Structure 1
């Protein structure tokens, strides 16, 4: 009888110890540790975040675990790279965890290039617009008679056009840069630019093209019977005639390659544009200016043919 009581007491003690362990050490969610993690910091747009997450999960299947993380979790994420969606997510992650390698999606060069230059290999990105050369050739496809392109920048952002100006010579196009010195000079400088160019090519330069100025730029161009190409889909909706952009699947495919390179070498390639692009068109603006339009697919084929004829030269 005493032996039975001893066994019962021992069993009870073991049960209590097990319960105590479970209380202080809750089981973590099951996770496959055979693949290194890739973390994802969303933009806050739930539909967009879910779409990109689904594309990334399919792309990384069998290679990496994709883990959606909160800002608090990102502070401790030191065992894998973080993919950020949009400039807001990138900025948050950089403030929270400056040691984490970051691959930025849905950003433009004027936002990311400084970070990438200072942290080469550690910070990179996939741009969601189109190269300036492609944007220029989109304008040429829409206006086949065009030979001159107007460009605007501040003295601090003028270098963004340097490579493009050299490249255009091979396509029988020339460009002139008009420098804006202060807000009061924007419209006078724009008028000079529109007098020169067959169309205005807008780069993703937030100092010139931003929500505060774009209405004035587009209305001035419209009154001068000139079109604006670029800098993004959002500005096409506002009144630019057309803009190239990178489709989501192409961005994710390139991101997969960048992540693979990171896990192989410990570094990301330089930021860049996906090789595929699409064209957004504002048909209402085209009708208002009496400009006949080809389909977006025809414009893309025209641009790709011109690039192929010149060895596929594209700007970074």
Structure 2
């Protein structure tokens, strides 16, 4: 009887051990993913992002390699997931269509379009830095419900954005009034556009919206009591009314979602899944506009997002 009990106890122990082993295998990834971060210039700027990414994905290996120290793209393991930052890194990645699946951050849609031409590889996805046009237009409509004609300046670099803006505007009963601004020293172009529109929506085109043009754009717009929406948090601090924007936590969440999916399902380009709102109370007071709380405004706008 004692021998039978011992054999039964040994059998149960072995069976429990097998069950625990199976459970452990189910809970542990088959292998860690190698996440390779790189940028041109000083890689110390990536350290905070890499630390946050490693915390979000403890089962993966996160490492940083300077762009000028990267091996040829063809020699990087196809199981690696490259995460590149900036236009220079994007241009480097385009040197070969044979590199591993890659996500590029810190590039606006205009700069990405300018860099790509017709060369975007199938295994490359860009998280555009600029805010989604539909969000900007919904923000505009929320703050200025009476406006109908939305003025948009563009040049050869950003002209392709107009179709996307018109499609988003149509769903909101807004009209896009587009004007090409070939010479930013020509203030008459801006004046004509303001006369034909109710508000100025600034797109993320550094050729048009930069420190050299900011003063002219803002002062001319406000002299005609026209608000400026966008294109970035920096421009709001300089004097535009408001914008949606995404910070590191938003980009980490969006990137994490992509990395959880097969790379062949990644979109060629996408905006951040989440966002925040920044507004300028001083400008709002000058224009007689009542501003909701930024966090509440972001929550209201999020309700209109497509999952």
Give the TM-score range, shorter chain. 0.7 to 0.9
Total equivalences in the alignment: 272
TM-score by length of 1: 0.75
* Superposed displacement of residue 145, structure 1: 1.6
Preserved CA contact (<8 Å) 2:109 2:129: no
Gap runs ≥5 in structure 2: 1-29
Q: C-alpha root-mean-square deviation of aligned residues, in Å?
A: 2.8
Instruction: Tell me if structure 1 keeps the 8 A contact 2:184–2:213.
Output: no
| SS of match in other structure, 1:158 | coil
Q: How many Å separate the matches in 1 of 2:184 and 2:130?
A: 26
Instruction: Answer yes or no: is the 8 Å Cα contact 1:121–1:268 preserved in 2.
Output: no
For 2:107, the equivalent position in structure 1 comes to 107
Any idea what SS the aligned residue of 1:231 has?
coil
Who is 1:284 aligned against? Answer: 282
Contact 1:74–1:97 (CA<8 Å) still a contact in 2? no
Q: 1:294/1:267 Cα in 2 relative to 1: closer, same or farther (>3 Å)?
A: closer
Tell me the CA shift for residue 295 of structure 1.
Answer: 0.9
Q: Is this contact kept in 1: 2:136–2:243, CA < 8 A?
A: yes
1:39 aligns with 2:40: no
Partner of 1:74: 70
3-state SS in 2 of match to 1:183: coil
Q: Secondary structure at the match of 1:291?
A: coil
Which moved further from structure 2: 252-261 or 219-228?
A: 252-261
Query: What residue is the counterpart of 2:3 in the other structure?
Result: none
Instruction: Compare relative contact order (CA 8 Å, sep 6+) and give the higher one, 1 or 2.
Output: 1
After TM superposition, the score normalised by the length of structure 2 is 0.77
Q: Distance in 1 between matches of 2:52 and 2:122?
A: 24
Q: Which has the higher helix share?
A: 1
Q: What CA distance in whole angstroms lies between the structure 2 residues aligned with 1:156 and 1:88?
A: 17
Residue number in structure 2 paired with 1:52: 49
Residue in structure 1 matched with residue 129 of structure 2 by the alignment:
128
Relative to structure 1, is the Cα distance of residues 162 and 247 closer, same or farther in structure 2, using a 3 angstrom cutoff? Answer: same
Distance 1:279 1:138 in 2: 9
**1:233 aligned residue:** 233
Contact 1:244 1:278 in 2 (8 A): yes
The structure having more radius of gyration, on CA atoms, is: 1
Q: How does 1:222-301 map to 2 (within 5 A)?
A: 222-261=222-261, 264-265=262-263, 268-301=266-299
Alignment correspondent of 1:219: 219
Structure 1: state its 5+ residue gaps: 1-32
